[in-house]
Amino acid sequence: DTAVSQTPKYLVTQMGNDKSIKCEQNLGHDTMYWYKQDSKKFLKIMFSYNNKELIINETVPNRFSPKSPDKAHLNLHINSLELGDSAVYFCASSQVSGNEQFFGPGTRLTVL
Amino acid sequence: AQSVTQLDSQVPVFEEAPVELRCNYSSSVSVYLFWYVQYPNQGLQLLLKYLSGSTLVKGINGFEAEFNKSQTSFHLRKPSVHISDTAEYFCAVTKGSGGSNYKLTFGKGTLLTVNP
């Protein structure tokens, strides 16, 4: 069974469109994260949710809106997509007091 | 806030040679340290972690790392690499108190290329 899963794996879309990426974890963790990996492989945190509550928002444009319907899911909705949003987006999860984050396989977003 | 510097962006080595990937961190508080590996077109997999205790940490696939507080370093080593070790390696840090406000700060990665 996949611990942290993301859909879709690849997403190709036009500028200006709105798209969503879904993430689910079956590890029973309380905390979930979104990271962005740019074309130079640099990884940076975007958001963190603990028990459906937003706890970290790292200066991400408000076109990005995370939503956590329950503690096993953290979705990422992006409005008015821009060329610079092209990247690989990784979801991760951990225990509240945990120290190891488990990563999903990533979603490669390409904005044309 | 924490920061991580990976001193080498690329490290080419021959198969069966030893390798060291360097990582230095900066933090005003105690830290937890991690090494993750990313194989081509895949997600991140934890290699090893330092939380407390012994400064020499052993991980998967024969890798180990040593935490050096005075030098603020956490270098990754393997005595004999295989071609299958070719991947991007990321050093990461977080504050040692954990809790819910817990994020990983990553270095820029080191591409390890193992040649036959």
Which structural domains are found in chain B, ordered by start?
3-115 (2.60.40.10)
High-pLDDT (> 70) share of chain B, %: 95
Contact A94 B102 (CB under 8 A): yes
- For residues B53 and A1, the model is more confident at B53
Residue B108: pLDDT over 90: yes
B chain contacts of residue A98, beta-carbon cutoff 8 Å: 98, 102
Q: Is the minimum CB–CB distance between B13 and chain A shorter than 8 Å?
A: no
Q: Does B106 reach chain A within 8 Å, measured CB to CB?
A: yes
Stretches where chain A sits below pLDDT 70 are 1-2, 96-98
pLDDT for A92 equals: 94
pLDDT at res. B94: 87
What pLDDT shows up at residue B98? 56
Average pLDDT estimate for B30-59: 92
Position B84 pLDDT exceeds 90: yes
pLDDT at site A98: 56
pLDDT for the residue A60:
86
* Substitution target from B47, B100, B111 for chain A, most A beta carbons within 10 A: B100
All structural domains of chain A with their residue ranges: 4-111
Cβ of B101 within 8 Å of Cβ of A48? The answer is yes
Measured between alpha carbons, how far apart are the two ends of chain B, in Å? Answer: 41
Give the whole-angstrom CA distance, residue B13 versus residue B19: 7
B39 backbone dihedrals φ, ψ, rounded to 5°: -80, 160
* Smallest Cα distance from A14 to chain B, Å: 23
Residues in chain B within 8 Å Cβ distance of A35: 104
* Superfamily of chain region A4-111: Immunoglobulins (2.60.40.10)
Reported confidence tier of residue B99, pLDDT bands at 50, 70, 90: low
Banded pLDDT at B58 (limits 50, 70, 90): very high
Across-strand partners of B94? B32
Q: Which residues of A68-85 are buried (b: 16+ CB within 10 A; e: fewer)?
A: beebbbbbbebeebeeeb
**Nearest chain B Cα to A42, which residue?**
B108
